[in-house]
Amino acid sequence: MTARTSPAGWVLRAVAGAHVVVIAGQPVFAGVYLSGDYDSLRLHALGADVVSFVAYLQFVVTIVVWVRLRRAWPFLATAALVAAETVQYFAGLDGALWLHLPLGVVTIVALVVFVVAVWRRPLGRAAVDA
């Protein structure tokens, strides 16, 4: 029998994909701001709100994946991502660029790795040991 991705797995793939798309705009807005267009800081702040919303949505979806598909790793990885993005958010608000910039790079890389992992294999129900 061939393993297939369940509807919950497809929702996770969609939300994680959207997460990558919205987070990819953040360095662009920051770069435009750092090049002298100070109005872009407002777009960067709005982008941070959108990224946070999608991250928390992904967190909820991974709870569903854990419960329905018996797969904990997406939840654990997303919990780490949400924690990093929350620290990132508040470091940006506080102006702590020494933390905000490198944590942003690490967070984007981790999210891309997560999306690759989610798309690499089918997300069906995990086998249960008897």
- Tens place of pLDDT for every residue, the chain, 130 residues? 557 999 999 999 999 999 999 999 999 999 999 899 988 899 999 999 999 999 999 999 999 999 999 999 999 999 999 999 999 999 999 999 999 999 999 999 999 999 999 999 999 887 655 4
Q: Does the reported pTM lie above 0.85?
A: yes
C-alpha closest to that of 20 among 85, 89, 100, 95: 85
- Separation in Å, CA 113 to CA 16, 64, 81, 91: 11, 21, 11, 23
77: Cβ contacts below 8 Å, ≥ 6 apart: 62, 110, 114, 117
Domain boundaries, the chain: 7-118
Indicate the angle between helix axes 7-34 and 40-69, nearest 10 degrees. 160
Q: Pull the structure tokens for residue 26.
A: 């953040």
50: helix, coil or strand?
A: helix
What residue type is assigned to position 120 of the chain? R
C-alpha closest to that of 113 among 6, 25, 16, 14: 16
Q: Pull the structure tokens for residue 29.
A: 């807005």
d(Cα 97, Cα 40) in Å, to the nearest integer? 16
